[in-house]
Amino acid sequence: MMLRVAWRSLMTRPIRAAVLAAGFGFGIAVMVALLGVGQVILEQAHAPALVGGGDLVVSGPFGPVSSARLVISTIQHAPETAARISAISVTRRARLYLITPGKALQITATGGVPSLERTIGDPEIAAVPAWTDAPDDKRWARPESGEVLRALDRFHPIPESRTSPSSWAEWLYFNGRTRDGHARLYLTFFVGAPGDAPGTRQAGVRLQLERDGRFTTYSASSIVDEAAVLAHGPDLDIGGNRVRLEGSTYRIVLALPGLAGQIALDAAAQRSMPPATIRGAGGWVSGYVVPALSGIMSGDLRIGGEQLTFDNAVGYHDHNWGFWEGVRWQWGQVAHEDVSIVYGRVFPPADVADIARIPGFLAVLGPDGLLGYSTNVTIDDTAEGRVDVRATRGLDLRLTLAVEETVRSTMGLTRLAGSQPLNFLQLGGIFQVKGTVGGRELGFSARGSAETFRPQSPGPTE
């Protein structure tokens, strides 16, 4: 009945019905054509050939890929990709402006390693024989592990900011413990605010040593040349103490009042976490990188007439930089067999960033690189003697630290305006780790380290 009524209605005005039908048909045809064109454009936008050839393009979600050498090294050495990669190249795009009388022309410039671009079939340079490799281009072709570590571990100039330069600090941090757990060291090479003379920086070395529950601290300070730090870091010389990166080994010489010795940390391959930088209002910045999430530490320390030996010990090294006034953080690290885990969260001053919008992170590295990463992380260290960490979204992992050692010190740099400095707590103990990451079940107990801040309260400080 309804079809009969509709048919009679259309037939009473056949011309209008025909125009209406043609209009609907044309509209549908246009929509189908646009969808088809859009799909083609989308596929072309993702086509590796449009960005220089190859079969796979790796890009950063917010711009250029940071630490390209680390990415290249990881892809080249990971078993699941090494045998399948015949060529790999790096490309950098930037906007340049050609200034002519009365006119400015915008140009998109592309840079790369010529020989590598040819191996992946970049059509733009196929017929340009004059474009050849510069001497340093070979380092991009197959970077050595030491060069990757050096690039990760570089030092940074103090940026322009409304924050006082006196709150800027950058440091190399090492920790290690003997296999039997009776001794642990926390070592910091620190480069801070500008010195009194132009082009100089305040610097220091601090070693905290724990032996069978007894804590002692050794330190020295000096003034260093800023240009030398920026040019050669992580190689540092501070008051007779020094760090040298040789290949993938950090060699450290200590000459502190009351303590002297040498330490070496052999960084494990594929156990580096790339730099992460948080930026806030007024040029505020905080950065963090882990060149050696795990490694083997060895060496001897002489303390008076006593000698302490680290032989085949467990070691770790990270690097921090930024403005630290009013800043606190939570951090922890544990390694077991072929798995290394690091987590953390930074709490900036309220006037530079919204704390609620800066998440924590947790990364898990295996023998061939990253196994999993999450920013959906909760870190609860309010209970005395215990730290609970939970990470979900992309992995499901729970870490619980039973604190056995605590080193408490006062850090005036973290003081909020009008308040007392906070106590900085360095924690050691046993981590219980359980969960899944990358389809792999994890369940182990291992010694690890953690850091946090607490309001000042009565108790020993170092």
Domain extents in the chain = 51-143, 165-324, 326-462
pLDDT class of 461 with cuts at 50, 70, 90: very low
CA torsion sign for 274, 233, 338, 452 is: negative
Residues 6+ apart with CB under 8 A from 132: 114, 115
DSSP state of 349: -
Which residues lie below 8 Å from residue 388, measured CB to CB, with a gap of 6+? 378, 379, 380, 381, 398, 399, 400, 401
Average pLDDT over residues 347-358: 86
Question: 330 near 344, Cβ under 8 Å?
Answer: yes
Task: Answer whether 200's CB lies under 8 Å from 174's CB.
Answer: no
Report which of 156, 114, 108 is spatially closest to residue 133, judged by C-alpha positions.
114
Exposed e or buried b per residue across 232-271, where buried means at least 16 C-beta atoms within 10 angstroms of its C-beta: bbbbbbbbebbbebeebbbbbebebeebbbebbbbbbbbb
Position 165 confidence tier, pLDDT thresholds 50, 70, 90: confident
What does the alpha-carbon distance between residue 6 and residue 76 come to, in Å, rounded to a whole number? 69
Residue identified by tokens 């609907």 is 24
Return the minimum-mean-pLDDT range out of 80-84, 192-196, 279-283, 421-425: 80-84
Q: What's the distance, CA 191 to chain centroid?
A: 20
Helices marked H in 341-383: none
Is residue 371's pLDDT more than 70? yes
Mean pLDDT of the chain: 82
* Neighbour count for residue 112 (Cβ, 10 Å): 21
pLDDT mean over 337-351: 90
| Residue 332 vs residues 53, 242, 370: alpha-carbon distances, Å | 42, 26, 17
Higher pLDDT, 340 or 144: 340
Instruction: Write the CB contacts of 40 (distance below 8 Å, at least 6 apart in sequence).
Output: none
What kind of fold does domain 326-462 have according to CATH?
Porin (2.40.160)
Output the pLDDT for position 107: 81
Pull the structure tokens for residue 321: 């930089």
How would residue 462 be classed by pLDDT, with cut points 50, 70 and 90? very low
**How confident is the model over 311-335, as a mean pLDDT?**
91
- Helix intervals (H) in 153-265: 226-232
Query: What pLDDT is stored for residue 10 in this prediction?
Result: 57
* Phi then psi dihedrals of residue 46, to 5 deg: -95, 0
Q: How far apart are CA 276 and CA 292, in angstroms?
A: 15
Of 286, 53, 73, the C-alpha closest to 65 is 73
> Residue 187: CB partners within 8 Å, gap ≥ 6?
173, 174, 175, 205, 206, 207, 208, 252, 254, 263
Pairwise CA distance, residues 278 & 348, whole Å: 9
Instruction: Report the alpha-carbon distance of residue 293 to residue 318 in Å, rounded.
Output: 7
pTM, rounded to two decimals? 0.77
One of 1.10.1020.10, 3.40.50.2000, 2.40.370.10, 3.20.20.70 is the CATH number of 165-324, namely 2.40.370.10
The dihedral of CA 436, 69, 272, 59: what is its sign? negative
Candidate from 10-14, 45-49, 222-226, 405-409 with smallest mean pLDDT: 45-49
Res. 177 pLDDT band, cuts 50 70 90 = confident
What is the separation, in whole angstroms, between the first and last Cα of the chain?
93
